[in-house]
Structure 1
Amino acid sequence: MRRLLSAIGALFLGLATPSALAAETLTIGITQYPSSFHPTLVSMLAQRYVEGLTLRPITVYDHDWKLVCMLCTELPTIENGGARRETYEKDGETKEGMAVTYSLHPDATWGDGTPVSSDDMLFTWEMGRDERSGAVSLEAFQRILSIDIIDEKTFTLHLDRVTYSYNAFSLALLPAHIERPIFEANPAEYRNRTAFDRDPFNPGLAFGPYRLAAAEPGSAMEFLPNPTWWGPKPAFDKIIVRAIENTAALEANLLSGAVDTIAGEIGLTLDQALAFEKRNGDKFDMVYKSGLIYEHIDLNLDNPILADQRVRKALIHALDRETISAQLFQGRQPVAHASVSPLDSVHNPETPTYPYDPAKAKALLDEAGWSVMKRGIRHNADGEPLTIEIMTTAGNRSRELVQQVLQSQWRQIGIDITVRNQPARVFFGETVSRRKFTGMAMFAWISSPESVPLTTLSSTQIPTEANGWSGQNYTGFNNAEMDALIDGIERELDFEKRKKLWARLQTLYAEELPVIPLYWRANAFPLPKWLKGVRPTGHQLTTTLWVEEWRVEGRN
């Protein structure tokens, strides 16, 4: 098996295995292949990982969880005059918003020599706010009322509200000189015609340290240095990213030398990593990073069974999540009780919890009308069986193992669980994003510090065909109090007042249970001893955003 995997890897683009490559080549293994290379049309970790090689957001949260400039020259604040409150008229009312001015790095240039400019920001906004485009962050774009172009590198965003995160802009810019003609020709078809997917090797699509130079769809991508990159010269003359969806096969590729390292953000599961370290700890530096990675199960609330809150509470009471964490992950992945991590400054320790209580779970199902037992499965008075489908990413050994445990524990209280998994590119690119899962979808959200769950919990963010499948509220959760809390948190600049709103949001989330919280995931980074400078963040931003800091020391 290892020989076969190595041979397959060696055939990609006629390349030899890493042992035969020059020291300037780095080969990385990941478990997913991006469903699209476009920065704003998909919400997929694989896309974010490779995007970190080719693009840079305007601002980022760094390794210390502090907001800093990456593409801009200075973080605009109210204190330094880069941001200010302002009023505007809408529907006959005077409202308060903000004006925030950014200056882009003077040397930032697309790979074809075109400067990264204010016009790129203008086009990115024009595309993103158009519902026909299908941008994931539609709401974020629509909050920008207008943009004033000051000069080629400087612009002012006029926001429709005052928010505590007024100067955080983590979205990547699009090259207007390439993408605008495509978009304007047919906005409704833009997502199917973008150059990021139809002409992905165009150097004008990248301004980061690397550019995408070649790809074997579904299998591998090759990145070469971008000659217009303004920052420190990266250490590698070539980076190859191989997508190997089966995590056991991914581990075999690492041991055989078909890949040099595995991305911790999207690689080995923790149980694999712990076992791998015991066997191969002398060959690799294992780095473990816990953080804001929330493994959970989205519930499709349009399903009549799951629309009943009593059923949702029964589902969580039937799970022994503490034992799952202890036995499968040696306690390194603590049980999650809501969507805010205990590591986050706004975590509420008094959030209601659901201990393992099968008796309580059975009573709730009886109360909900699922009280007739036939061959170990509950039925309602009409004879319908209590059957729910669960889906996750095929080939992820840890998720599939957890899935089996969940299936077994739910079966013990009379719930019939059917499993239907899909490759990640299909699961995220089509099934989840368009709400095609009928029951449960198990995956992870990765967030930034104090990240308001607007796109995942607001009723305005439920993906539909009418809104171009924008938004990430895949459960279909629609709760007026949650909407008000999200809006209130965003508008409150005083941290202590905001923290009280956060506490209520977490309580409401736990009470309503639009999802089943599982655990806070820890990522494992198996790094060859010669690879230095890779620093996990613990939040949603990938290590590749600092790829120019990676270096080689003592590689044979």
Structure 2
Amino acid sequence: MTIHDGVLRLCGRVVSVAVALPLCLVLLSSSPQVGAASSSPETGLSSSLPEPFAGCDPVGANPSASTVQALSLVLPEAFTSTPKGTITQATSFLDQAEVQSLKPLVVIYSIKKGATWVDNRAIGLSDFVTTWKWGAKGVGPAATQYRQVVSIKKGKNASQVLVKFSTPTSNWRALFSPLLPATVSTSELASCSLPSAATDLSAGPYVIASASPSAITLVPNPRWWGPAAMFSEITLSGGVNASATQFTTPLQAGLAEATWFSPGVLEGIVSEPGVSSHVDFSNRIVSLDFATTRGGLPFGVRQAISLLINRTRLIQDSVGQIDTYITPATSHLIAQGQPNYTPLTASTATDPTTTSTLPVSRSSASRAKKALNRAGYHLSNRVWVTSQGQPFTLSMEAPLDDYWSLKTASLIRLQLGAKGIKVRISFVPSSVVVAQNLRTAKTMSGILARPTDLFAAHSAAWFTTSSIGPNSIYWAGYQKKSLNTLATQASMNMNPTDAVPLYETIDNALWSTMPSLPLFTEPDVLAWSTDIDGVVLNPYPPGTLSALLSWKLITASAP
């Protein structure tokens, strides 16, 4: 990689120059120096996000992550995420949200004075009721929590809302983030394919001016009561390759985020004066899941395949070329970098209760051989065959919307092929479709990229089911009643810290039954103009853009 003239500062992690992906690379030769905050309304922001825009309903459905980021500047939220993976109360429309009583659980929400929708209607009780009822009918990540609400009523005044739950739950903070307006058309929400100003009525700093699958334009909300919007216009690109022009257009700041950049594109971006970049762990866990329903793979075969996969080599040949800090996953539920995640170390790499020795050793290969023999397979000319002499062929689906999943499927095919197992890969649109096909045993295995959030209950729903439903869109059909019970108990614990051991028990049980082999956490790469101060990569929903109001535009100081 050729670096232009100037001072080069590297911070954070070390990566291979061969892939041209610096981790915290700040090019200082002609970067603007920090001076007074700029209040110019003429500056726009051009931002590229990883996925195309899809869906418009972040309460009752599961829109794309890029859509969620865009809507974080439009819809008000009760709580939001921090880059460190913690939950904090958002400043958009609440003064306070606190537990009033535990038996029954009642939460009181105090609405900010002057908080209004763009149609000049004050945010109030009816908006909470609409959001609750729509969320409870839907299949969004917090649907189960919405179904635990039994009533919503006015508090001591119009600015207070009391929400009563049927059972205790520490996940009450997942609700009303975002809040929907009472005037929303539920029929439009149910059928929309993209955000719009009418469906996603704004009570945030920006309103939607236009939207397509590849682009959303936001303009300042004229009735926004909070801090002035710093950008005169925000142009968001979804699923479109970033380019250096985002950072070189006059009167425009640039920001680009993706789990993967081609080396040439990234080199072109970071070689521009005044561009910063950083890479960290994303919130996406890539795993190899198996069909466990009737007609799926028995435990012995799932175990054998997992033992034969060298996850260390898998990472070295893929994400490790971008971020050398990525290690084989140690959890089904928590992404590397999240709180309560324990990274793999030399002492845990050979733990037989979790996965194979890394890299694959004679011991793990021997265990895999015994497991396949017990399942009725035997080696013939270095190929595993059935009792009828037919080659063992593993069907595997890979989602087309995730680069690292596609790369992983190809690498696993090579690894298992070298061990005598043929892999037949087919491609489907998304990880959601992979999960659907695993539930019906249409495929015997599949690569999934599952996004975590700040609620372990939502990750646990990938492998458990609730009596009040609905099932997670990433649930691949695995059923075990004891895990369902544990997930319910964990959710009812009002102290999230006290629930951690229960989720760890669920995770340990998944290692012992192997419905899924977690592989690694994807990287998250962010580049931005250095004339924006305060940008911090946030991989957790709603994402980096949700903190935009805390950023500042800076101008070059006078010489």
Tell whether 2:218 aligns with 1:206: no
The offset of 1:273, in angstroms, is 9.4
Change (3 A) 1:433 1:530: farther
- Residue 130 (structure 2) aligns with: 123
Provide the residue aligned with 2:523 in structure 1. 522
Deviation at 1:549, TM superposition (A): 2.4
Q: Is the contact between residue 293 and residue 478 of structure 2 (CA under 8 Å) also seen in structure 1?
A: no
| Superposition pairs of residues 262-341 of structure 1, within 5 angstroms | 262-264=255-257, 267-269=258-260, 272=263, 276=267, 280=271, 284-290=275-281, 292-302=283-293, 304-306=295-297, 308-328=298-318, 329-330=320-321, 331-338=324-331, 339-341=333-335
- The one-letter code of the counterpart of 2:70 is V
Change beyond 3 A, Cα 1:451–1:334? farther
SS across alignment from 1:128: helix
Q: CA deviation at 1:542?
A: 0.2
- SS of alignment partner, residue 504 of structure 2: helix
1:191 is the counterpart of 2:184: no
Q: Deviations over 1:194-229 (max 9, x none)?
A: 5x74x82328612111111112x3321111111122
Give the partner amino acid of 1:323. Answer: R
The structure-2 alpha-carbon separation of the partners of 1:388 and 1:555, relative to structure 1 and needing over 3 Å to count, comes to: farther
Is the contact made by 1:268 and 1:524 (CA closer than 8 Å) also made in structure 2? yes
> Which residue of structure 2 aligns with residue 61 of structure 1?
81
CA shift in 2, pair 1:56/1:276, >3 Å: farther
Shift of 1:256: 8.7
Q: Distance in 2 between matches of 1:456 and 1:273?
A: 36
Q: Is residue 372–residue 378 contact of structure 2 (8 Å, CA) maintained in 1?
A: yes
Looking at structure 1, the residues matched to 245 and 426 of structure 2 have their Cα atoms a distance apart, in angstroms, of 27
* Whole-angstrom distance in 2 between the partners of 1:212 and 1:37: 11
Q: Distance in 2 between matches of 1:460 and 1:203?
A: 30
Q: 1:154 to 1:224 in 2, by over 3 A?
A: same
1:474 aligns with 2:493: no
The number of aligned residues is 493
Structure 1 residue aligned with 2:71: 51
Aligned-partner SS, 2:167: coil
**Structure 1 position 271, deviation (Å):** 7.9
Residues 118-197 of structure 1: pairs in structure 2 closer than 5 A:
118-130=125-137, 133-150=138-155, 151-169=157-175, 171-179=177-185, 182=187, 191-192=190-191, 197=194
Q: Structure 1: where are the runs of 5+ without partners?
A: 1-21, 87-96, 184-189
- Give the superposed CA RMSD: 3.6
Structure 1 residue 33: Cα displacement: 1.5
* Match status 1:400 vs 2:394: no
Instruction: Letter of the 2:78 partner, please give it.
Output: I
Kept in 2: contact 1:288–1:523 (CA 8 A): yes
Q: 2:284 and 2:200 mapped to 1: Cα distance?
A: 33
Aligned to 1:16: none
**Paired AA for residue 214 in structure 1:** S
1:224 equivalenced with 2:219 (yes/no): yes
For 2:175 and 2:285, how far apart are their aligned partners in 1? 22
Q: Which residue of 2 aligns with 1:11?
A: none
CA distance in 1, matches of 2:289, 2:202: 34
Give the TM-score taking structure 2 as reference length: 0.77
Name the aligned partner's letter for residue 143 of structure 1.
Answer: Q
Q: CA deviation at 1:475?
A: 0.9
Tell me whether 1:365 sits opposite 2:386 in the alignment.
no
Which residue is 2:46 aligned to? Answer: 27
C-alpha separation between the residues in 1 aligned to 2:209 and 2:313? Answer: 46
The answer to whether residue 453 in structure 2 is matched with residue 447 in structure 1 is: yes
Cα distance, 1:414–1:450 mapped onto 2, change above 3 Å: same
Distance 1:387 1:252 in 2: 42
Q: Which residue of 2 aligns with 1:411?
A: 417
Distance 1:72 1:66, change over 3 A: farther
1:483 aligns with 2:484: yes
The answer as to whether partners of 1:461 and 1:473 remain within 8 angstroms in 2 is no
Indicate the residue corresponding to 1:8 in structure 2.
Answer: none
Q: Corresponding residue for 2:62?
A: 42
Contact 2:73 2:205 in 1 (8 A): yes
For the residue of structure 2 that corresponds to 1:26, the secondary structure is strand
The 1-side partners of 2:467 and 2:399 are apart by 22
TM-score (norm 1): 0.77
Distance 2:83 2:249 in 1: 30
User: Structure 1's 315 and 282: CA in aligned 2 closer, same or farther, altered over 3 A?
Assistant: farther
